């Protein structure tokens, strides 16, 4: 009975050909997908637009073309994983530019520290995904520079699906073990090289924490895959399997 009901429920409509053509014209990472993955991304973007509320704030307005573009970029990391990667949250909040957030932390001595961070994106474990539109546009202007804030924040969402934000997404058990081992080794090596003053071409922000390492490397997989493969080959191999081939290869 439920199966029958489910079949009756219409699939969310994919973006119209005009909107999708405009998305491909603006986003090289979408334009360079092969026809099969392009079809999959378009369907995923339709599902994203159906399931997520996109809320522009602080005076920003977004038209249908910009919303479709955001949905497409956010769904790039789901090409292999599928729409289960959209589970557990409902809202994409978009600021016009980098945004300030207040942070607090109580240290071991019980002292409350408060500070302000300026962010271009943020993903709460079970809350909204937040992006700066100016930074999304800057990623689109330089698609092979190693940056893609939408992919970065979606990597955090995939990471958090198993309940722990630790740089290891939900995977079959054997792969998860190999992933955790290889990423830890690569992360430790990356931090050690950085501490010794070495330069890998990969954003040093990746050294912040294992979960940032995964999110930053995900950006390189999509927008500078050759650099990632040279600098961090084992990580590049896992990401190739997890996300499928980079559109830039």
Give the interface with Zn ion as residue ranges (CB under 5 A): 212, 215
CA distance 200 to 95: 31
Smallest distance, Zn ion to C-beta of residue 108, A? 25
Residue 152 beta carbon to Zn ion: minimum distance, rounded to whole angstroms: 6
Distance, in Å, from the CA atom of 158 to the CA atom of 183, rounded to the nearest integer, reads 16
Q: Is 217:232 a contact under the CB 8 Å cutoff?
A: yes
Instruction: Tell me whether residue 14 or residue 123 sits nearer to Zn ion (CB atom).
Output: 123
CB-nearer residue toward Zn ion: 215 or 235: 215
Considering the complex, state which of residue 42 and residue 152 has its C-beta at the smaller distance from Zn ion: 152
Please give the residue whose beta carbon sits closest to Zn ion in the complex.
215
Nearer to Zn ion by Cβ, of 34 and 118: the residue is 118
Look up residue 14 and give its DSSP letter: P
The distance between the two most distant Cα atoms of the chain, rounded to a whole number of Å, is 63
In the complex, the smallest distance separating the C-beta of residue 191 from Zn ion, rounded to whole angstroms, is 16
Q: How far is the CB of 13 from Zn ion (least distance, A)?
A: 32
Pairing state of beta strands 112-119 and 99-106?
A: antiparallel
Residue 27 beta carbon to Zn ion: minimum distance, rounded to whole angstroms: 21
Q: Which is nearer to Zn ion, 130 or 215 (CB)?
A: 215
Return the DSSP state at 105.
E
Q: Where are the beta strands (DSSP E) in 61-168?
A: 91-95, 99-106, 112-119, 121-123, 129-132
Residue 3's CB is within 10 A of a number of other CB atoms, namely: 7
- Cβ contact 230:37 at 8 Å: no
Paired residues of 112 in beta bridges: 106
Minimum distance from residue 220 beta carbon to Zn ion (Å):
14
Q: Which is nearer to Zn ion, 45 or 215 (CB)?
A: 215
Nearest approach, Cβ of residue 195 and Zn ion (Å) = 21
Hey, how many other C-beta atoms are within 10 angstroms of the C-beta on 83? 17
Q: What is the DSSP string of 13-66?
A: PPPPHHHHHHHHHH-HHHHTS-HHHHHHHHHHHHHHHHH-EEEE-TT----HHH
Looking at beta carbons only, is 75 or 217 nearer to Zn ion? Answer: 217
């Amino acid at each position: 009975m439920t199966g029958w009901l489910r079949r009756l429920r219409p699939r969310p409509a994919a973006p119209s050909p005009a909107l999708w053509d405009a998305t491909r014209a603006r986003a090289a990472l979408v334009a360079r997908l092969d026809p099969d993955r392009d079809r999959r991304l378009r369907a995923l973007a339709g599902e994203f637009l159906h399931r997520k509320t996109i809320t522009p704030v602080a005076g920003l307005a977004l038209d249908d073309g910009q919303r479709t573009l955001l949905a497409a970029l956010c769904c790039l990391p789901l090409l292999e994983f599928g729409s289960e990667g959209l589970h557990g949250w409902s809202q994409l909040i978009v600021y016009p530019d980098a945004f300030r957030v207040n942070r607090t932390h109580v240290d071991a001595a019980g002292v409350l520290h408060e500070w302000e961070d300026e962010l271009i994106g943020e993903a709460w474990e079970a809350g909204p995904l937040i992006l700066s539109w100016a930074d999304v546009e800057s990623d689109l202007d330089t698609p092979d520079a190693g940056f893609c804030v939408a992919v970065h924040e979606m990597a955090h969402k995939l990471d958090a699906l198993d309940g722990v934000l630790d740089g290891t997404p939900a995977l079959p058990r054997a792969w998860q073990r190999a992933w955790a081992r290889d990423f830890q080794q690569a992360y430790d090596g990356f931090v050690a090289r950085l501490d010794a003053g070495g330069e890998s071409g990969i954003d040093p922000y990746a050294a912040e924490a294992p979960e940032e390492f995964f999110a930053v490397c995900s950006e390189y997989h999509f927008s500078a895959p050759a650099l990632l493969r040279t600098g961090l080959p084992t990580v590049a191999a896992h990401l190739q399997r997890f996300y499928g081939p980079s559109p830039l290869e």
